[in-house]
Amino acid sequence: MSLGSKIKQYREENNMTQKDIAEILEVEPGTISKYESGMIEPNIEALKRLAETFQFSIDELLKDDEEKFDVTKICVLEVLREQKEMKLKGNLYHNTQIKFAYNTNHIEGSNLTEDQTRYIFETNTILFDGETVASVDDILETANHFKLVDYMLDVADEVLSEDIIKQFHKILKQGTMDSYKEWFNVGEYKKLANEAGTMPTSTPKKTPKDMQNLLEWYNSLSVITIKEIIEFHARFEKIHPFQDGNGRIGRIIAFKECLKNNIIPFIILDRDKLFYYRGLKEYQCRKEKGYLIDTCLNAQDQYTKMIEYYLK
């Protein structure tokens, strides 16, 4: 807060007019107005009298307090959408795309590095080092994830639906080897049984009903906090509705729902995947919810630091 703003604040808090202060300082009322607007600054004698009047030290008056950055007042969805339309480089949207694509794909086994992921996003080409061999599907799914995030931002404030979730899957897997397998059913629920690690999941026959029940429960909630979003994520991964790509779809849903409800979103980092997997397993077995919640909250803290770095 500037000196002029402090003088005005302290004057008003003490129910004093500019004329009252002018009489104390033995100056014209217009001079006080200029102090408060920052046009001129009081001399040392005036500062002493102001400090005595407001019962503050001169140092307190002169100290230029930087307003604390309140990340909760930032509408992250608006920022990401605006930067996306601007094609702004090197800021929150740009780095969200890279960190999200790299980490969510690496958790699922992609061998692309973060630098290669960045290169694909920034140049639409792939950077190879030495004799590095990259899977075509890794490259496609990285490029697809960039498109997926953009689509997610477009529909972020819409009510979560089966159509949106299926479209997420279609975008992620489009053009990959899996998309050429009829039984894989890209953009639709699984035809064959699958599992999440060693955990059994919903059968193909039960999946449509289980997904319908999950969305009915979630969309009936009157208040949604990050804990409800984590609960949805754990239930979604337990159903495992698609033949493959469930982890990435589940994490993009969680990001979307955080944005929709003005909650700081989170990106699970590859380095934390063991905590994440343990958290899901413990949560789904109804043993302990804290592991998954703590992992997600820690990821939220990391994203908060990103927001502060780029927007403060």
pLDDT score at 117: 95
pLDDT score at 36: 85
pLDDT score at 131: 65
Tokens of 305: 């630091």
Q: What are the residue ranges in the chain where pLDDT is below 50? A: none
Q: Sketch the domain layout of the chain as residue ranges.
A: 3-62, 72-311
Q: What are phi and psi of 202, to 5 degrees?
A: -60, 145
pLDDT score at 47: 86
pLDDT score at 66: 52
Equal CATH topology for 3-62 and 72-311: no
Tell which residue, 65, 52, 54, 46, has the closest CA to residue 11: 54
CA dist 61 to 11, 56, 68, 107, 145, Å? Answer: 12, 7, 18, 53, 52
pLDDT score at 37: 84
pLDDT score at 121: 95
> What is the C-alpha to C-alpha distance for residues 9 and 6, in angstroms, rounded to an integer?
5
What is the architecture of the domain spanning 3-62?
Answer: Orthogonal Bundle (1.10)
pLDDT score at 264: 97
CB 171 within 8 A of CB 148: yes
Contacts of 302 (CB under 8 A, 6+ apart): 266, 267, 269
If 0-12 CB within 10 Å is exposed, 13-18 middle and 19+ buried, where does residue 34 land?
Answer: middle
Instruction: State CA 181 to chain mean position distance.
Output: 34
CB 93 within 8 A of CB 84: yes
CB 134 within 8 A of CB 171: no
CA dist 285 to 197, 253, 293, 310, Å? Answer: 13, 22, 14, 39
pLDDT score at 282: 92
Fold of 72-311: Fic-like fold (1.10.3290)
Question: How many Cβ atoms from other residues are within 10 Å of residue 30's Cβ?
Answer: 10
Write down the pTM of the prediction. Answer: 0.79
- The H or E element containing residue 285 is none
> What is the C-alpha to C-alpha distance for residues 148 and 146, in angstroms, rounded to an integer?
5
pLDDT score at 93: 98
